[in-house]
Structure 1
Amino acid sequence: MLRYCKRCVMPDTKPDLFLDEEGVCNACRSFERRKAIDWDARKKELLQILDRYRSKDGRNWDCLIPVSGGKDSTFQVVRMKQLGLNPLCVTATTCDLSDIGRKNIQNLKNQGVDYVEFSPNPVVRRKLNRIGLMQVGDISWPEHVGIFTIPVRVAVQMNVPLIIWGENSQNEYGGPASAAENNTLDRRWLEEFGGLLGLRVSDLIGLEGLQARDLIPYTYPSDEDLKRVGVTGLFLGYYLPWDGYSNALLSQAHGFTTYHTTVEGSLVNYENLDNHQTGIHDYFKFLKFGFGRATDLACLHVRRGRISRQDAIELVRMHDGKFPWSYLGKPLEKILEPLDLTVEEFIKICDRFTNKKLFLKDAHGNLIKDKHGNLTKINYDNP
């Protein structure tokens, strides 16, 4: 039976989410524990780590920051510069870059940083988008892997040991850099946070003619290279109170551009602005688990006391899980065109990955859809 957290609006179908005996999820409990954290002590610890890795003679960058140009990476750059660091910023180019995404990348560079943009082979990338969508129901699989592999490869090549990640989704881990001894990133750490979804890079060889040499950007450096450079990482959200909304406010004050209206499938206009494929990614989460990006955002704001749980329920009903006919104004058929898929073929893939236990069906077991192609979730519990 589908159950919801009594404090936020997250269902228990979310992977790694657990409801305690009071019906409160572990994400809410984790946020609750933040009140007891000594953030001044955490910031002091951060400054000590940064001093340890700062280039002593100024002949190399102090750290590497993986960036997309979004609100969080803009915040990371602004904050590191405020702390006196000279970062090298690295973008693993997104799959279907939007105009506003390109504008925000340029704004990030204008903060006064050295910047590297790595653009993987687009012919290979389209194959990986298609394979990810059809095999694991995630069109963004290559992007989520490349976000981790490409900056780490650049860190090795440029001999920059310290990588500054943003928020850790588990919200309780400092990262290897926090350890004085044995603080090198290892393959296990990378694969834990690298989002492979059970589809390993080596599994792709031979699919659609792909060879090992096509997959270099999505492959981690060797353990020997990681140890030689001493590549390590930390999650900034462990040391500073992390909040996407305040990150957005600070980024906007530094020139970050938001969307002109609420982003499709979302509640806000300040995030996931760079990739036209994101709407498909978020929709598949809804099909698999019964919640989408609107639920994620509603829960974040409920925990921070910005909206009530009842308001969150209404907003989720308004915005979550709508069929992605467009994203950032680009029609679905145009988004699917590079993958050589029609909308009809896409709908069949959607149906294949839909968890049919979560949605209304007719007497023959077929999913019931309204005139816009939207499903109706079976709500066993409030909301």
Structure 2
Amino acid sequence: GGKDSWYQVIKSQLHGLKILCVSWRTPQRTAVGQENLDQLIKKLGVDHIDFSINPNVEKRFMMASFEKKGATGIPMHMAIFAIPYRLATQLRVPLIIWGENPQLEFGGPEADRLSTELDVNWIANYGVTNQTKREDWIGVNELTDADLSPYALPTTADLKTFHPKSIFLGSFFRWDSFENFEAATKYGFSSHSSNKKTGSWEFADIDCHFISLHHFLKWHKFGFLRIFDNLSVEIRYGRISRKEAIQNLEKTGLQKPCEDIERFCDFMEKPVDWFWSTTERFRNKEIWIKEKNTWKIPGFITQEWDWEKA
């Protein structure tokens, strides 16, 4: 139900395609996320499958991925790539249409920037799974092969029987998040600044209460946040200058998602201290130094930053 999903459906309908929408249901979908999804189905008139995974399995998988990799989003990304791909193979859907090509929009090797297809090899390289496969998690937190079956990609044998074409829409049409938002709004998509979870855009990352954690954990590992992604894209779009982006960053600050961290810990049945102690284990000491009991990043993009005490 996000603005890019609306744009994908709108663009596909304008080109005469019959659409089956497939979504993975996050264990913490927001109210605005559900409303936008309902409106997409109603106003754009599409068939839709909303795939829910056993919340007990999701809980154990997310806990394992967080404790072992410092990442809450591994199960999410496995699900959003595996479920549509597998269903298309099983239902003999000839064409899968994804959104933007991340390597084209955010940077990557030239061959991958120019690629038009999202296949199993792409998912292995760029699927945001920390270089892990579903099979790597069998046996962790008592997760079984059957438990993790929703995260299974189609096998080589499956694809020999039927192999859907799987493409990036952004490889064929210019991708602009603001234009996508405007197009979606004309048909019924809605958002508000109060819906914003992270970053600087009020129309993105609003569908799940846990998405802010996925982006926040980049801070300790890599020294940047979701707002860096947003502002970098706006610079490339020519909407703002680098100077304006830095000023925006200084004004916004860290954006610590305290409320969503509490939600996550409630879902995990863990104290909030568990989240912070686990996060601290993944702090990248190659970029962070501790001065007078305060963690800092030397050479940070701005001197106007409120560094937190350790």
Structures share fold, TM-score greater than 0.5: yes
Post-superposition shift, 1:242?
0.3
Q: Give the partner amino acid of 2:211.
A: T
Give how far 1:376 is off.
Answer: 4.5
Q: Is 1:291–1:321's contact at 8 Å kept on the other side of the alignment?
A: no
Distance verdict in 2 for CA 1:162–1:301, change over 3 Å: same
Aligned counterpart, 1:86: 18
User: Quick one: which amino acid aligns to residue 18 of structure 2?
Assistant: N
Matching residue of 2:267? 338
* Separation of aligned partners in 1, 2:9 and 2:190: 16
The answer to whether structure 1 residue 217 and structure 2 residue 144 are counterparts is no
Q: Percent identity?
A: 32
**1:304 alignment partner in structure 2:** 237
Distance 1:262 1:209, change over 3 A: closer
The letter of the residue matching 2:285 is K
Equivalent AA in structure 1 for residue 201 of structure 2? V
Which runs of 5 or more residues in structure 1 are unaligned? 1-68, 178-184, 369-374
- The superposition leaves residues 296-329 of structure 1 with CA deviations (integer Å, 9 ceiling, x where unpaired) of 01011111111111110011223353322124xx
Match for residue 37 of structure 2 among 105, 110, 118: 105
Secondary structure, in 3 states, of the residue corresponding to 2:13?
Answer: helix
State the one-letter code of the partner of 1:378.
P
Alignment deviations for residues 4-31 of structure 1 (CA, whole Å, 9 cap, x no partner): xxxxxxxxxxxxxxxxxxxxxxxxxxxx
Whether 2:9 is the aligned partner of 1:77: answer yes
- Which range moved further: 133-142 or 258-267? 258-267
| Residues 168-207 of structure 1: pairs in structure 2 closer than 5 A | 168-171=101-104, 172-176=113-117, 185=119, 187-207=120-140
Q: Is 1:353 aligned with 2:282? A: yes
Q: Which residue of 1 aligns with 2:107?
A: none
Residue in 2 aligned with 1:53?
none
**Counterpart contact for 2:98–2:168, Cα < 8 Å:** yes
**Aligned residues between the structures:** 294
Task: Give, in whole Å, the separation in 2 of the partners of 1:176 and 1:283.
Answer: 29
How far apart are residue 253 of structure 1 and its match? Answer: 1.2
Aligned-pair CA distance for 1:382: 5.7
What amino acid sits opposite 1:343 in the alignment?
V
| Distance verdict in 2 for CA 1:292–1:380, change over 3 Å | closer
Q: 1:293–1:320: 8 Å Cα contact kept in structure 2?
A: no
TM-score (norm 2): 0.89
- State the 1:206 CA deviation: 1.2
1:266 aligns with 2:195: no
Flag the 1:225–1:125 CA change in 2: closer, same or farther, 3 A: same
Instruction: Indicate the residue corresponding to 1:146 in structure 2.
Output: 79
Q: CA deviation at 1:95?
A: 3.1
Which structure carries more helix by proportion?
2
Where does 1:306-325 land on structure 2 (aligned, <5 Å)? 306-325=239-258
- 8 Å CA contact 1:93–1:120 kept in 2: the answer is yes
Counterpart amino acid of residue 114 in structure 1: D
Q: C-alpha separation between the residues in 1 aligned to 2:195 and 2:6?
A: 20
Please give the alpha-carbon distance, in whole angstroms, between the structure 2 residues aligned to 1:380 and 1:115: 45
Larger radius of gyration: 1
TM-score (normalised: structure 1): 0.73
Inter-partner Cα distance in structure 1 for 2:123 and 2:218: 23
Query: Aligned AA for 2:278?
Result: I
* Alignment equivalent of 2:67, drawn from 134, 140, 156: 134
The CA RMSD over aligned residues, in Å, is 1.9
Q: Take 1:90 and 1:242, find their aligned partners in 2: how far apart are those partners?
A: 21
Task: Provide closer, same or farther for how the CA distance between residues 159 and 289 of structure 1 changes in structure 2, counting only shifts above 3 A.
Answer: same
Shift of 1:264: 4.1
Matched residue, 1:156:
89
Structure 2 unmatched runs, 5+: 105-112, 304-310
SS of structure 2 residue aligned to 1:164? strand
**Structure 2 CA distance, aligned partners of 1:291 and 1:312?**
14
Corresponding position: 1:243 with 2:176 = yes
Deviations 1:102-141 (A, max 9, x none): 0111011121101111111111001111111111111111
Counterpart AA for 2:97: I
1:294 matched to 2:227: yes
Give 1:159 shift. Answer: 0.7
**Contact residue 67 and residue 278 of structure 2 kept, 8 A:** yes
